[in-house]
Amino acid sequence: MDYVIEMLNITKAFPGIIANDDVTLRLRKGEIHALLGENGAGKSTLMSILFGLHQADKGEIKKNGKVVEINNPNDANNLGIGMVHQHFQLVEIFTVLENIILGVEPNKYGFLQKKEAREKLLKLSENYGLQIDLDALIEDIPVGMQQRVEILKMLYRDNEILIFDEPTAVLTPQEIEELMNIMRGFAKEGKSILFITHKLNEIMAVADRCTVLQKGKWKGTVDIKETTKEELSWMMVGRDVKFSVEKESPKIGNVVLSVENVTVKSKESAQDVVKDVSFNVRAGEIVCIAGVEGNGQTELINVITGLEKVSRGKISLNETDITRMSIRNRSKLGISHIPEDRHKHGLVLDYSLEKNLVLQRYWQEGFQKKGFIKKNVVRNYATELISKYDIRSGEGPKTIVRGMSGGNQQKAIIARKLDKECELLVAVQPTRGLDVGAIEFIHERIVNTRDKGKAVLLMSLELDEVMNLSDRILVIYEGEIVGELNPKTTSVEELGLYMAGSKKDKREGDEHAKLKK
Amino acid sequence: MQNSKNNFSASMKKITKSKWLSSFSATLLAISLGLIFGLIVMVVASPTDSFSGFGMMLFGGFSRLGNVFYFATPILMTGLSVGFAFKMGLFNIGASGQYTMGLFFALYVGIMFNLPSGIHWIVCIIAGLIGGMIWGFIPGLLKSLMNVNEVITSIMTNYIGMYLVDMLIRNNGKMFVSSKARTAYIPATAQLPSLGVTDSNVNIAIILATLIAIILYIVLYKTTFGYELMATGHNKHASHYAGINYKRNTILTMVIAGGLSGLGGAFAILAPSNIPGSSMTYEPINIIAANGFNGIAVALLGNSHPIGIIFSSLFISHIQRGGTRASLFGYKPEIIDVVIAVIIYFSAFALVMSSAIGVVIKKRKERKAEAVNTVKEIEEA
Ligand SMILES: Nc1ncnc2c1ncn2[C@@H]1O[C@H](COP(=O)(O)OP(=O)(O)OP(=O)(O)O)[C@@H](O)[C@H]1O
Ligand SMILES: [Mg+2]
């Protein structure tokens, strides 16, 4: 057969868990092969084994029919295998070019020959339509571009087998479309692609075949032409999954969050990134801020949660002015926040799961007494959250978070936030990286929070999620709110037009803000 | 029968799995590497006597255990200081200046004040604590207010502290005995109670220092403050986001670290000793206190863990004692210093690099074995 890569009977265990249990995966030349499975099913582990980051305990890997040893990423690279990781592996303070050549620096007598590299890269980026500024620093460029850097890294090394671990989780819909086209182009050229995603639509759109894992075991490999979304999700979770959210019409109460004429200055330039924005979120409704990345929504959320400061305007929660309040006090007043960047803000990766689960409440009476942390209370509380939110890991509350799968890390953050009694829930990309089953569950919980009479402010790049979950959509474009839409009477296309800035409503101040006065 | 065997192997596995053991074995490996390099230096310096000299270095300390404890006390304190700050991600290179400040404050109260015995030495210790705290406060404040790197400010405070102390002493007629170019001796009331071990200078300070290490362990691992501190050390952004007050904690940590070093200085100067010039008096000769820098090595070798630091300070003190006795075999003091430095810093360095060397391979093997075991266990269950 013409398999480029065969991973045969791979078994890999971590303390307390078998991440891959006798898994076999065969990759054809020139195909796009999707890998699907619940959070913690072992997808990243399997791919890390192929890329040489982990070694299998049992089983073998063949390339073009010959058994190969892959002990480290260098071996993988020599075999033409490249990988874009779930969490990017870039040096923040290096330029794009420096990052790409890192490890394979072209040199003459030990001196860097950047010019050669630059020429090759320019050609590559032109050939594949991967636009990039080679001299920008990684820390200054958005995630979508960082991903292009990771892709160019593989191309620069002439890799023929490309592994993408959840590449679309961090991208906007437009960028996803672009990436899928690029992947199709690769496949046409004869490169073979392994593609991990939780989004079934993407698999249906781009993949040739799909292998499903369940709790570390191989569940089946199917031809995409002969399957449906429903069948795939059934194979993966073993039950039917609802793709739309069921919710009753909202019972709207008083204004909980009020944002009045808020302006935020950009950290880099002298320009304002949020311009004189006013809106309200009331008890019992889910309001979504929709917009293309980089239009000020991140900053807007940050000033509400206290991560950034406003330059003008006023923010209040239940009529209390919180504009200059500390994060801890906002949290005490009832703001709960699911952050965008889970590794940066959400977790202390080297702490255990239980310690992370109390990160926002270890100081509360009950969890501590006179400054001493009550270990048993923390342990019991963590165990409860773990079972309630189905957080899967090797060693339960004691697991170090760094070793948990991406989706389960996200679940830990969500569990911590949703479990807290709050007045206002600010959820930024809450379901990023979660499997369909978990998304269904989290959506239920968010709707539940709303039905308990709490206010919910949502930010998501996922248009389906925006349309499904929210009661009201505020579209932000270039730092201004350009439209207020009702998801029931608006189409996705219309929303897209607003987000792209080609449609605008004149808003003479927010009507709800007026109501209050 | 079968059952008890299983139990035994399970409990063995627990022991080998424990994190404590793996970091302990990494430390041993690092120390062995350090010793090998020390031996190499000795062989190069004087091949004939190298093995007997090296033997003395390794074991000579045992016949002077009291003094091993005596000399371990100050570096235990500076080690705790560096290690504590490091838990929050701060590099307290200023231990030396804080140590000198603590020493000066204790000396000042010792010589200038007339207090009844039983109280005098306690007041001196407290003065030393305060001196160190002030000197730790400065870099802490600058870091939290203006985000000035604590490494830079604490290098400066090291020099400022040392010159300031030397100047203050020289200008103080009562403290400074110009004919001897050193300070007067502190009175007996200000000296720490000796533990009464014959032929040694061991005093109550080693007990106090050990108690302080245990308290620090409790603070770090059992309290909310320690939780915040280490969370900040691991991930600054996440802890800021969780509402932890970074600025307050930075100042607090540096003040505590400074206080620990200051206590080290006080313990050193207040100790009653029969080794001339080693305590009770101070020579203002513009030299930065080595005990401060040795604290860095102690902290590295003890993995910044308060309990680990107790042992690493004893080890380093032991090697130093043995080293001084190696001069019996004709090694010049400079060579001995070089060998000691090689052993200390190589061990500490090897530990830091342990992720990059041998240990990785070892761990990988362990992992594999462990994984196979886990598979078996799970399959059995
Ligand atoms: N380095 C590690 N140390 C310990 N356990 C690990 C490690 N890496 C993965 N695991 C465990 O192996 C299991 C599989 O993890 P993996 O990351 O492969 O899942 P995944 O399928 O990629 O999930 P997700 O969709 O959430 O990314 C998880 O339960 C995880 O806790
Ligand atoms: Mg994964």
Q: What is the mean pLDDT of residues A386-392?
A: 92
Span B84-106, pLDDT tens digits: 999 999 999 999 999 999 999 99
* Closest to A100 (Cα-Cα) out of A149, A163, A164, A159: A149
pLDDT given at position A510: 46
Q: Smallest Cα–Cα separation from B164: which of B104, B121, B239? A: B104
d(CA A261, CA A275): 8
Reduced to 3 states (helix: H, G, I; strand: E, B; else coil), residue A474 is: strand
For B102, B143, B255, the CA distances from B251, given in Å and listed in that order, are 18, 8, 6
The number of CA neighbours under 13 Å toward the Cβ of A58 is 15
Residue A111: pLDDT band (50, 70, 90) is: confident
> What pLDDT was estimated at residue B53?
82
> Whose Cα sits closest to atom 19 in ligand 1?
A40
The per-residue pLDDT for A514 is 43
- Here the ipTM equals 0.74
A275 torsion bin: left (phi>0), alpha (psi -120 to 50), beta (else): beta
pLDDT in tens, A425-468: 999 989 988 998 889 988 998 999 999 999 999 998 888 889 98
Q: Phi, psi (5° rounding) for residue A137?
A: -80, 145
Distance of CA B160 to the CA centre of its chain: 22
Q: What is the dihedral of CA B102, B106, B111, B116, to 10 degrees?
A: 170
Q: What distance in Å separates the CA atoms of residue B298 and residue A275, rounded to the nearest whole number?
A: 54
CB neighbour list of residue B245: distance below 8 Å, 6 or more residues apart: A326, A328
Strands A161-165 and A81-84: parallel
3-state helix, strand, coil in chain A (%, to 5): 35, 25, 35
Residue linked to tokens 């404890």:
B69
Strands A455-459, A424-428: parallel, antiparallel or unpaired by DSSP?
parallel
**Is residue A505 a contact partner of residue A482, using CB atoms and an 8 Å limit?**
yes
pLDDT tens profile A392-419 = 998 999 999 998 998 999 999 999 888 7
Q: pLDDT band at residue A91, thresholds of 50, 70 and 90?
A: confident
Full DSSP string of A331-365: HHHTEEEE-S-IIIII--TTSBHHHHHTTTTTTSB
Distance from CA of A125 to the nearest CA of B (A): 34
CA-nearest residue of chain B to A21? B375
Least confident of A286-295, B116-125, B262-271: A286-295
Q: Are the CB atoms for A465 and A260 separated by under 8 Å?
A: no
- Rounded to the nearest 5°, which phi and psi values hold at A151? -65, -45
Long-range contacts of A209-212 (CB under 8 A, 24+ apart): A209/A28, A209/A31, A209/A33, A209/A34, A210/A33, A210/A34, A210/A35, A210/A36, A211/A25, A211/A33, A211/A34, A211/A35, A211/A36, A212/A36, A212/A37, A212/A236
Confidence of residue B370 (pLDDT cuts 50, 70, 90): low
Instruction: Quickly count: other Cβ atoms within 10 Å of residue A74's Cβ.
Output: 12
Under a CB-based contact definition with an 8 Å cutoff, are residues A56 and A12 in contact?
A: yes
- Please check whether residue A282 is in contact with residue A513, taking contact to mean a CB–CB distance below 8 angstroms: no
- Work out the pLDDT band at B351, boundaries 50, 70, 90: low
- Choose the mutation target among B86, B87, B235 for the interface with A, i.e. most A CBs under 10 Å: B235
- Residue A270 pLDDT > 90: no
pLDDT of residue A380: 94
Helix (H) or strand (E) holding B342: helix B333-352
Give the three-state DSSP class for A363.
Answer: coil
Over the stretch A182-211, which tens digit does the pLDDT of each residue have?
Answer: 999 999 999 999 999 999 999 999 999 999
pLDDT band, very low/low/confident/very high, at A515 (cuts 50, 70, 90): very low
Main-chain dihedrals φ then ψ at residue A358, nearest 5 degrees: -105, 15
Taking alpha carbons only, the member of B113, B127, B118, B120 closest to residue B175 is B113
Strands A111-112 and A107-108: antiparallel
Retrieve residue B56's tokens: 């003395």
What pLDDT, in 10s, does the model give residues A131-163? 888 888 888 887 788 888 999 999 998 999 999
Residue B74 CB-half CA count within 13 A: 26
pTM of the entire predicted model: 0.80
Alpha carbon distance B270, B110 (integer Å):
8
Q: How many CB atoms lie within 10 A of CB B134?
A: 18
DSSP H or E run through A475: strand A472-477
Cα B364–A346–A146 angle (5° rounding)? 75
> How many C-beta atoms surround the C-beta of residue B18 within 10 A?
11
Neighbouring residues of A74: CB distance < 8 A, sequence distance ≥ 6 = A52
Q: Answer whether B241's CB lies under 8 Å from B104's CB.
A: no
Pocket test for ligand 1, best of A7, A14, A401 (most atoms within 8 A of CB): A14
A192-196 and A161-165 as β-strands: parallel, antiparallel, unpaired? parallel
CA A373 to chain centre: 32
| Domains detected in chain A | 5-237 (3.40.50.300), 255-334+421-516 (3.40.50.300)
Average pLDDT, chain B: 84
Token pair listed for B149: 């790197």
- Looking at per-residue pLDDT, the higher value among B381 and B318 belongs to B318
Residues A45-85: tens digit of each pLDDT: 999 999 999 999 999 999 999 999 999 888 999 999 999 98
Q: B15: pLDDT confidence band, cut at 50, 70 and 90?
A: very low
Longest Cα separation, chain B: 82
Question: Using one digit for the tens of pLDDT, what is the confidence trace for B182-206?
Answer: 899 999 999 999 888 777 788 999 9
* A139 vs B: CB within 8 A: no
Q: Residue B354 has what pLDDT?
A: 57
pLDDT band at B376 (very low <50, low <70, confident <90, very high): low
Q: State CA A354 to chain mean position distance.
A: 22
Angle at A493 between CA A487 and CA A494, to 5 degrees: 60
Helix (H, G, I), strand (E, B) or coil at B302: coil
Closest CB to B222 among A12, A13, A372: A372
CA distance A23 to A468: 36
pLDDT for B257-313, tens place per residue? 999 999 999 999 999 888 877 788 898 888 889 899 899 989 988 889 999 999 999
Confidence (pLDDT) at B129 = 97
The span from the CA of A137 to the CA of A94, in Å, is 6
Residues with CB under 6 A from ligand 1: A 14, 17, 19, 37, 39-45, 86, 392-394, 403-408
Residue A355 contacts B, CB cutoff 8 Å = yes
Kindly report the number of other CB atoms within 10 A of residue A269's CB atom: 8
Write out chain B residues lying below 8 Å of A347, CB-based.
235, 238
Please give the backbone phi and psi of residue A133, each rounded to the nearest 5 degrees, phi first. Answer: -100, 110
Chain A hits for B381, Cβ within 8 Å: none
Cα A419 from Cα B319, distance rounded (Å): 54
CB B272 within 8 A of CB B73: no
User: How confident is the model at residue A54, as a pLDDT?
Assistant: 92
Percentage of the residues of chain B whose pLDDT score is greater than 90:
47
- Give the position, in ligand 1's atom list, of the atom nearest the Cα of A408: 26
A38, A435 Cβ separation under 8 angstroms:
yes
Indicate whether A262 pLDDT > 90.
yes
Q: How do A286-290 and A472-477 pair as beta strands?
A: parallel
Would you give the distance in Å from CA B54 to the centre of its chain? 24
Percent of chain B clearing pLDDT 70 (strictly above): 85
Q: Which atom of ligand 1 is nearest to the CA of A48?
A: 18
- Split at pLDDT 50, 70, 90, the class of B377 is low
**Locus of tokens 């490091």:** B86
Helix (H, G, I), strand (E, B) or coil at A313: strand
Sheet holding A58-63, edge to edge: A66-68, A58-63, A3-14, A17-28, A217-223, A209-214, A32-37, A192-196, A161-165, A81-84
Identify which has the larger pLDDT, A475 or B329: A475
> Looking at residue B41, what is its pLDDT?
82
Find chain A residues with C-beta within 8 A of B243's C-beta: 326-328, 331, 360
Pair A103, A93: CB distance under 8 Å: no
The shortest C-alpha distance from A499 to chain B (Å) reads 29
Instruction: Report the distance separating Cα B205 and Cα A165, nearest Å.
Output: 57
Q: Give me the mean pLDDT over the B315-325 stretch.
A: 87
Q: Which residues of B touch A (CB under 8 A)?
A: 17, 222-225, 227, 230-231, 234-235, 237-245, 364, 368, 370-372, 374-375, 378
Residue B232, min C-alpha distance to chain A (Å)? 9
- Which residues 289-318 of A have a C-beta within 8 angstroms of B? 307
Sort out which chain A residues have CB atoms less than 8 A from B225's CB and list them: 371
In angstroms, rounded to a whole number, what is the distance separating the alpha carbons of residues B329 and B50? 9
Q: Is A372 on the interface with B (CB under 8 A)?
A: yes
Residue count (chain B)? 381
